[in-house]
Structure 1
Amino acid sequence: AKNRYETKTLSFGSQFESGNLSQAIRIGEFEYDLLLSSDTNSMCHVQWFYFAIYGLKRRRKYRFNFLNLEKQDSLYNLGMQPLMFCPLAASELGIGWKRVGTDISYYLNPFTKVTNERKRASCYSASMIFKLPDRFSDDNPNSPHFFSYCYPYTYRNLMTDLANLQSSRKHCFKKSLLCKTLGGNDCPLITITNFSETKAVNIREEEPCSETNLFDDDLSFLPVSQRRYVVITSRVHPGETNASWMMRGLLKFLTSDSAEAFSLRNHVIFKIVPMLNPDGVIVGNYRCNLAGVDLNRKWSKPDISTSPTIYYLKRLLLKIHGVASNQKILAFIDMHGHSRKRSLFMYGCQEGKKSTEAYVELLPNLMNRRCEYFSLESCNYKVTKAKSSCGRVSVSRKLKIPFSYTIEASLCGSDTYHFHTSHFERMGRDTAKAIWDLVNPNQDIVKEVLQSLGVAEMENGIIEDDMEACGQQNGNPSSRREADVCPDVQKHSRSNQVQKVGKKKTIRKACPQSKSNSSTFVKRRHSKK
C-alpha cells in the first residue's frame, strides 16, 4: 500500500493520484533509503516515483537512495535529474517543476527480489544529493514539496484538457467513449477532422484562419467520406508521462487555427486515444494496468477481461480498415517515453518486404525535417521476436500498412539539455506537421525524401501508391465479415505488389548509391538544425 511514512526529521506521502512510494527509511541524519511500489498485481516494473516530502529545510543537503529499481542501466548515469515542485513557489512566484540533484549515480546493489516468474532478480540503486532550489519556501512545515521521476500528467489533467477542447473547438473536436476500464474509468476516444461537408478552402500559411483570408483551392478539401484515417495513441505505459505531454501538444495543434492544422482536418480523420491505461496512471503504476498486464504486449490476442482498452481499440481499427473502401487507415502512431536513450526517435516495421521498406523510413525522415529534437540515427525499423505483440507490429501485420510506428521521447533530454514540457508539446505539434507533409496533395517533399532513400519518383503520390504496394484490394469490402478483413488483404497482397512494381517501379533501387544518398540526406537535414 502506498501510505504516508513518517520519520524523525522528514515525513513522506504518496496518497494522491499517480503517487508511488512504498517506504522511507532514515539511515543517517539527512539520508534516506526509499523503496518504490511494484505495479498492481505484479511483482515487477519498479521505476516510476512521485511523492510528497514534508519538513525540508533550505541550505540543508539530503541524500536519497532508491533501492529496488530494476533496469540494468539508466539515464541517471548520463546526467538525468529528477524533478521537484513547491506549491507555494508556484502560486506566489510562478515557479514550476525544477530539476534537482547532484552526485547522481545508478548501480547494481547487493539486494535481490522475486519476479513474477518466481525467480530471483538483481536490484539497482539510484543515489543522489539534493537541496531545496532557490526561492522554494520552507516556512510552512505542513506545505509539501513534490518529488517526481518525470513531469506528472494525471488522468484528471487529461479530462480537464479534453473538456476545454470540447467546449471551445466543437467544429473539429468530438469526444466519445472507447470503453470502460477494469477500474470503471472512462477511456476517451477523440475524433478530430473538419466535420462540415461544405466545400472547404485553404488559407495562407502565414496568417491565422479567418473568413477574410480564405481562398478557393481544389486541392484543399476532401469530402468526409473520402478522407483517410490516422490513429494515434498514448500512455499505454503509465510511467511514461512525457508521452501525455506530446499528446497534449498534438491535440492543441490539430484543433488550432493554423494553416497546416486546417488543411490536415480537411484531408484526414484523426482517431486518438490519449490515455490507453487510465487505471495504471491513477494508481501510480509504471507499466501495467490493474490486472498486472503490460497492455503493449497484448495486441496479438487482447483479452476483454484483462485488457479491454486494447481489445476495443483493435476492434475499432479492424472495423475502419475493413468496411470503408475509400477510408483505410493511413498511419498508426503510438507515443512513448524512453528511459535509456536521448532525443526523439521512431521505431518502425521493416520485415523483409523490399517494396515497402522505403515507405517505412519515409515518415521518420519527414519528422527529421520538422523537429529539431529528432534523431534519425536513433531510429530502428527491425522487428524482434520480443516486440511481436506490441502495438506498432501487430497493426502493421494485421492491417498491412507501412506507416505503423512507436515514437519515443527521452525521459531525460538531448545531449546538451533536459527536455521541458514545452519541448514535449512541440514534439507532438511537429508529429502532426510531418503527417501533413505525408498527406499534402503537393507531394514534392515526399518525392524528395523518397529519392534520397533510393526510390523512383511516383506518378500519383504516396497516398495512392502506398496502399496498392501494401496489397489493398479494389472493390467495396463492406459486405465482408470483420473477421475476414485481414485474410482477404493478405490473399491479394502479393499480386497487387507485383502489378504496382511493374507499373511504376516503386521499389528500392538496387544500386550502390542507395546508401550514400540516404546518408547525404541525413547530413543535409542535420546541418540545417
Structure 2
Amino acid sequence: MHISSAFDSGNIKVIDKKSTPVELAIRIDNQSDFYQWFHFRLEGEVGNEYPLRISNAGKAAYPEGWENYRVCASYDRHNWFRIDAEYDGKALDFTVDLEQPSIYLAYFAPFSWERHLDLIAWAQSDDRVQAETLGLTLDGRDMTLLTIGNPDTAKRKVWMIARQHPGETMAEWFVEGFLETLLDESNSAAMRILQDTVFYVVPNMNPDGSVRGHLRTNAAGANLNREWQSPSMERSPEVYLVRERMLATGGDMFLDIHGDEALPYNFVAACEGVPGYDEKHATLENIFKDAFEKASPDFQTEQGYPLDKPGEANMTVGTNWCGHQFRTLALTLEMPFKDNDTLPDPIEGWSPARCRSLARDMLFPIRETLAYMDEAEK
C-alpha cells in the first residue's frame, strides 16, 4: 500500500502505515491552528479492504463537521462518490474497498488550480468577459477578476467572490456553474440581465491556500474572511486588492460564496448586525431569499446561523464590511460539505453538480432583487 499527497491541494500525513487501521493525520494550515481539509491518493491491491483512521479529526477546526460525514472518493478524479465513516469524538474511521489500483480521497471534491486556470481561459474567450490580474498573492499567484458585461453602460453592478476559505471547494464549483449560466447565449434571462448589469467575479480569493491544501487560511496563515477592515499587502494581499477595486467601482449587490462544515443545508447569512443596518437592507434580503426559495428546492431559510444583534457584527467579515460600506445587499451563501438534508443524495451527497445547479438557480433572485431596486428608484 502507498499513500501520497504531493500534488495540488494534497494534505495528509501517514503516522503509522503498519497499524490497523492505518493511522493518518491532517496537516495544519501554515502559521495557523486551522485544519480539516484532506486530499490524498491511496494505492493498493484491487479487491483488498484498507481501514483508515484520521487520528486528529477530533481537534480539527470544526469537529462537529465529522458527525454524519461521508468521505468523498474518486477513481478518475472526475466522478466523486461517498464512503461511509464513523466518528467517535476523537478519530474518523472509514474503510476503502479498492476496486481499481488507486483511489483519491478528499474532504470534498477538489477544484484544482489547473481547473481554475481553465475556467479563466474559457471565460475570457467570450467577448463579453474581461480577465484582469489585480496583483499577486504571497506565493506569486495571480489574483484574477472577471468582468462580465459592459461597465460603461451598465446601470447595476454585482460582485461575487468565492473561496476565501480554500478548503471550501464547493464555492468555486458554484462559480463555474454561475459563469456557465451567465454566458449561455441560449439563456434569455442571462442575455437580458447583461444588457444593463455588469458582474465582477473573483472565482478564487485564496489561490495559495488552495494549492497548499489549507482549510481556511492563505500562505501567511491569515483567515481572509477576518481581514476586510484593514487588509495589507504583507498579510492579506488577496483581500486588499479586491477591496481596493470594490472601493473604486462600487456595487449594488455583494455575494460571498462559502461552505459550512457542520450544517447540512444551503442558506444565506446577511449583515443584520452592522452599524446603519436599516429597512432597505432587510427588504432586499427578504426579496432575494423569497425568490431563491421559489427558484431552487435546494435553498431554504429555516436553518442557518444565529442572527447578529444590532451593532454587534464582526466588521472584519467580508459580507459585513460590504453591507456597511456600500449600504446595500450583502450576503454569504453557505453550502454543505456533507449533504443537503432536505434533498439528500445517498451516492454523492452534496456534489459539484448540485453546486452548479444551485448557481444556475441563483440568477433568478439576483434578477428579482435588481428589478426591485430599479422600481424603488422610480
Query: TM-score, with normalisation over the residues of structure 1?
Result: 0.66
Superimposed CA distance per residue, residues 429-474 of structure 1 (whole angstroms, 9 cap, x where no aligned partner): 112222122234xxxxxxxxxxxxxxxxxxxx433537x9xxxxxx
Any idea what SS the aligned residue of 1:276 has? coil
The answer as to 2:218 corresponding to 1:228 is: no
Q: Confirm or deny: 8 A CA contact 1:235 1:336 kept in the other structure.
A: yes
Contact kept in structure 2, 1:348 and 1:360, CA below 8 Å: yes
| 2:44 match | 55
| Equivalent-residue separation in structure 2 for 1:338 and 1:314 (angstroms) | 24
d(CA) in 2 for partners of 1:24, 1:392: 39
Q: 1:131 to 1:33 in 2, by over 3 A?
A: same
Task: Tell whether the 8 Å contact from 2:313 to 2:320 is kept in structure 1 after alignment.
Answer: no
Higher RCO (Cα < 8 Å, 6 or more apart): 2
Change (3 A) 1:152 1:390: same
Is 1:290 paired with 2:201? no
Task: Tell me how far apart the structure 2 counterparts of residues 463 and 106 of structure 1 sit (CA, whole Å).
Answer: 53
The answer on whether the counterparts of 1:64 and 1:128 sit within 8 Å (CA) in structure 2 is yes
Distance 2:313 2:365 in 1: 29
Partner residue in 2 for 1:159: 117
2:333 aligned counterpart, secondary structure: strand
Which structure 2 residue ranges, 5 or more long, are not aligned? Answer: none
Match of 2:30, as an amino acid? T
1:355 deviates by: 5.0
Alignment-derived partner of residue 143 in structure 2: 187
Match of 2:335 in 1: 409
Name the residue aligned to 2:82: 99
1:67 aligned to which of 56, 63, 69: 56
For residue 368 of structure 1, the aligned residue among 293, 317, 338 is: 293
- Contact kept in structure 1, 2:62 and 2:261, CA below 8 Å: no
Q: Offset at 1:390?
A: 0.6
Tell whether the 8 Å contact from 2:226 to 2:317 is kept in structure 1 after alignment. Answer: yes
Q: Deviations over 1:190-216 (max 9, x none)?
A: 0111x4xxxxxxxxxxxxxxxxxxxxx
1:231-270 alignment runs, 5 A limit: 231-257=159-185, 258-270=187-199
Q: In the aligned structure 2, how far is the partner of 1:187 from the partner of 1:432?
A: 25
Shift of 1:75: 4.0
The 1-side partners of 2:359 and 2:45 are apart by 36
Check the 8 A contact 1:85/1:97 in 2, yes or no: yes
Larger Rg: 1
1:19/1:284 contact within 8 Å kept: yes
CA RMSD of aligned residues (A): 2.2
SS in structure 1 at match of 2:117: helix
What is the aligned partner in structure 2 of residue 359 from structure 1?
284
Say if 1:267 and 1:302 are closer, same or farther in 2 by CA, change over 3 A: same
Aligned pairs, number: 366
Alignment check: 8 A CA contact 1:105 1:128 kept: no
User: Which residue number corresponds to residue 326 of structure 2?
Assistant: 399
Match for 2:159: what amino acid? V
Asked whether the 8 Å contact 1:150–1:242 carries over to 2, the reply is yes
Q: 1:462 — aligned with what?
A: 373
How far apart are residue 72 of structure 1 and its match?
Answer: 5.4
Give the 5 Å matches for 1:122-137.
125-132=91-98, 136-137=99-100
Q: 1:176 to 1:22 in 2, by over 3 A?
A: same
Give yes or no for contact 1:33–1:67 (8 Å, CA) kept in 2: no
In structure 2, distance between residues paired with 1:83 and 1:285? 17
Deviations 1:383-429 (A, max 9, x none): 3657331100011111111x101000111111232122111001111
With the length of structure 2 as denominator, give the TM-score of the two structures.
Answer: 0.90
1:15 aligns with 2:15: no
Kindly indicate whether residue 323 of structure 2 is the aligned counterpart of residue 332 of structure 1. no
Once residues 127 and 386 of structure 1 are traced to their aligned partners in structure 2, the CA distance between those partners, rounded to angstroms, is: 38
Q: 1:434 aligns with which of 350, 365, 372?
A: 365
2:332 aligned partner, one-letter code: T
User: How many Å separate the matches in 2 of 1:66 and 1:330?
Assistant: 46
Note the 1:206-225 alignment, pairs <5 A. Answer: 224-225=152-153
Distance 1:27 1:361 in 2: 56
Q: Tell me which residue corresponds to 1:278.
A: 207
Q: Percent identity?
A: 22
Contact 1:76 1:126 in 2 (8 A): yes
2: distance between equivalents of 1:77 and 1:320? 43
What secondary structure does 1:100 align onto? strand
> For structure 1, which runs of at least 5 residues remain unmatched after alignment?
1-9, 110-124, 139-143, 196-222, 322-328, 441-460, 469-529
- Out of 114, 118, 134, which is 1:178 matched to? 134
The correspondence of residues 309-324 of structure 1 with structure 2, limited to 5 A, is 309-321=238-250
Report if the CA contact (8 A) 2:29-2:221 is conserved: yes
Give the Cα–Cα distance (whole angstroms) in 2 for the partners of residues 152 and 410 of structure 1: 14
Q: C-alpha displacement at 1:26, in angstroms?
A: 3.2
Q: Distance in 1 between matches of 2:152 and 2:165?
A: 33
The aligned counterpart of 1:341 is: 263
Deviations 1:147-175 (A, max 9, x none): 111000012111112212222x22x1121
Matched residues in 2 for 1:137 and 1:22: separation? 23
Partner of 1:448: none
CA–CA separation in structure 2 for the residues paired with 1:361 and 1:426: 22
